């Protein structure tokens, strides 16, 4: 008497579920760090745009400004640029995202921090 087998046994299904669980446990932490990298990338992008806006404003006015509307500068969703300072010889700004605690910094000229080179964007480790 031959019996044809239809379907999977319980042990085979349990093995597949365990393998999927292991793969998910490996993938989820990597995904979390990818999201934070994306938040930092949007902070850096906004600081690059701020630098471009400041230099465009300087070319017409021979001074830098902290007035974002005069710069025609808006931030990305979730990003805020604070700590802005400007004078006739330089500017600086700090970008932060609402979904992470890390911040990025940029500056130029007299306002650049001692640890930041002119126009170089640095972020918290």
Residue 29 has pLDDT above 90, yes or no: no
C-alpha–C-alpha distance, residues 75 and 111, integer Å = 21
Report the percentage of the chain scoring pLDDT > 70.
Answer: 94
Name which of 22, 21, 81 is nearest 54 in CA terms.
Answer: 81
Return mean pLDDT, the chain.
88
Q: How confident is the model at residue 2 (pLDDT cuts 50, 70, 90)?
A: low
Model pLDDT, residue 115: 55
Residue 105 has pLDDT above 70, yes or no: yes
Q: Dihedrals φ, ψ of 81, to 5°?
A: -105, 115
Question: pLDDT tens-digit profile of 69-95?
Answer: 899 889 999 999 988 888 888 899 999
Residue 1 has pLDDT above 70, yes or no: no
């Amino acid at each position: 008497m031959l019996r044809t087998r239809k379907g999977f046994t319980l042990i085979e299904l349990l093995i597949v579920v365990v393998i999927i669980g292991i793969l998910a446990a490996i993938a989820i932490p990597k995904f979390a760090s990818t999201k934070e990298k994306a938040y930092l990338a949007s902070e850096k992008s906004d600081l690059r745009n701020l630098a471009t806006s400041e230099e465009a404003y300087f070319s017409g006015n021979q001074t830098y400004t902290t007035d974002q509307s005069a710069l025609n500068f808006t931030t990305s969703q979730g990003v805020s640029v604070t700590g802005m300072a400007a004078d006739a010889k330089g500017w600086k700004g700090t970008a932060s995202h609402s979904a992470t605690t890390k911040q990025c910094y940029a500056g130029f000229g007299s306002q650049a921090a001692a640890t930041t080179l002119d126009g170089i964007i640095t972020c918290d480790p």
